[in-house]
Structure 1
């Protein structure tokens, strides 16, 4: 497991001591530094790098939201985790713009430890020419399509606009869909159950949270590389959905197939932005990971549900999947133009592939 430098920030001394004590078992691998105020944390960040920032939100003088906003500008490569019991709506909306993960306080002790282990996994994997953790953590939100972002803004400015139109827009864009799912699956939002369906996610979000989905467009040269990736993975998502529907799969399996196809774009998009011109080079040599692994690690930092992470991470090696539904896994795998005969035969689906490849992609336009 890779070494991490972790900065814990809270204005309550007892909580800091408790967090330090909880992480002490990892002291041979992780260096933990504490700060009792947002201002002190900023002073530390100004002079030394950290891999992870874990901060409370409601601190006097210099809030956790201000600290994360500053760190996004000056330390964008750092993973930002909120650990707070504060429930102020405006503050939570502010934190949503900057944090990778939301954990409530008090929470089960193992949740923070598990989140940090996942960060360590990202750092561990990136053993190529580039350090993968800053690449993945620094991404923040995947850039959305300029056209889709413009339409979302127009929807939010029009009180008479129908919500179904917005749901359709988000379901077509990997960046917007990932952000919506991150928000509704966060501990602060408190969903009744984990969701992988971007359509459902938009239904659960309020107007202010929906406004947080929109971000500025990528630079024109970057957008030229991202557009075909978004389009390709939207086609994969739609064909995977058509396959799941043709097989009579229940709604959760259909949702997983669609989301898996759409959000498997995360890795290719991140790698395309990280080092232009490496598209034809070996991904593992350059980045220490292949695109599906990068997708999984990015979505892991966002706190998305385990079956979705399992599916996107094993897209090229489906036999290694353990949590994703086999039909959803097969649907995305085949829709992506892959055919692992051993996996498909083991799942009893190999004979179905020729029929699947004749299907018309399905629209994600109904609940």
Structure 2
């Protein structure tokens, strides 16, 4: 095995499926090291013995199923990208894998689709060389929302007079809620043929019942815990992000772009500070020190973040928006809490 190459672990309880993957991915033998595990127990033995860059697992397996396996991967190797490749798509599967899985692909999956998904996952490792940053991005389950937005969303979802337009308005007012909704809607769970970038369309696509269930049972939305975090800074970031999104849309309108491009442009602008929100939610002490350093010496946030973290909030945001995080329609975003020690 070439130690210079990344290692991909494929897990399934059917030998025929693993043999099929060996054959269909033979062309990647000089691009990756490939390991094949017959079931979750064999996969865990491999994970405990060697470093794995990407895990691709079936969902329904005896003993240790895909969701349980990926939960263990998060603990054993938090920087590892986690992909589900399964024909099992019942509602229970969504609830159990929406957290631990970065991406969900439905069998049968074209080999090139899987190859590109793995390549996107590996691109994150090339962009973020710090193990702590890799663990942060690969580990993050969500971008937290501001508490007031989450409270308003819960109230509207539970209201007998709740409306899709009001739910969409509440979600659109908060970057964390927007990221998590679009991430989920564009995942392979829902068989949607094209990427969704409009919040109202996403709400209508999922429906109230599914949103309620996902919010309560799967916990796709969570609130910032303001302990140790300057919530005024978070509110400023949220407001700035909304302003960037609105301005980006106006520029697109002025250039005569179509409706789909307008939605995508506004969405991209709104996510300008998603990397900052990830950093504040997971490493508040480090970000507070970065801000104190800027107050003492001046300078720009980009240089200060690069010195302290080895990467900037813009680079983290780009990785999140393109990374292995969820999605069959496109590379999407999805996140978890990583170690808060110093990043080297």
Residue 223 of structure 1 deviates from its aligned partner by: 6.0
Give the root-mean-square deviation of aligned CA atoms: 2.9
Residue 226 of structure 1 deviates from its aligned partner by: 3.7
1:314 is aligned to: none
Give, in whole Å, the separation in 2 of the partners of 1:264 and 1:94.
30
User: In 2, are the aligned partners of 1:122 and 1:132 still within 8 Å (CA)?
Assistant: no
SS of equivalent to 2:41: helix
Residue 249 of structure 1 deviates from its aligned partner by: 4.0
User: Structure 1 3/283 Cα, relative in aligned 2: closer, same or farther at 3 Å?
Assistant: farther
Question: Which residues of 2 match residues 275-294 of structure 1 at below 5 A?
Answer: 275-276=286-287, 277-278=289-290, 280=301, 281-284=303-306, 286-294=308-316
Residue 110 of structure 1 deviates from its aligned partner by: 0.8
Residue 152 of structure 1 pairs with residue 159 of structure 2: no
Q: Which runs of 5+ in 1 are unaligned?
A: 310-367
Question: Which residues of 2 match residues 77-226 of structure 1 at below 5 A?
Answer: 77-127=79-129, 132-206=133-207, 207-209=209-211, 210-211=214-215, 212=218, 213-218=220-225, 220-222=227-229, 224=231, 226=234
User: In 2, are the aligned partners of 1:76 and 1:138 still within 8 Å (CA)?
Assistant: yes
**What is the aligned counterpart of 2:244 among 236, 241, 244?**
236
Give, in whole Å, the separation in 2 of the partners of 1:191 and 1:240.
26
SS of equivalent to 2:35: strand
Residue 289 of structure 1 deviates from its aligned partner by: 4.1
Residue 248 of structure 1 deviates from its aligned partner by: 5.3
User: Structure 1 153/67 Cα, relative in aligned 2: closer, same or farther at 3 Å?
Assistant: farther
1:253 is aligned to: 261
Residue 208 of structure 1 deviates from its aligned partner by: 2.6
How many residues are paired up?
Answer: 307
Using the TM superposition, name which of 208-217 and 11-20 deviates more.
208-217
TM-score normalized by the length of structure 2: 0.78
Q: Which runs of 5+ in 2 are unaligned?
A: 292-300, 334-344
2:297 is aligned to: none
Question: Which residues of 2 match residues 267-306 of structure 1 at below 5 A?
Answer: 267-272=275-280, 273-274=282-283, 275-276=286-287, 277-278=289-290, 280=301, 281-284=303-306, 286-300=308-322, 301-303=324-326
Give, in whole Å, the separation in 2 of the partners of 1:308 and 1:161.
28
TM-score normalized by the length of structure 1: 0.73
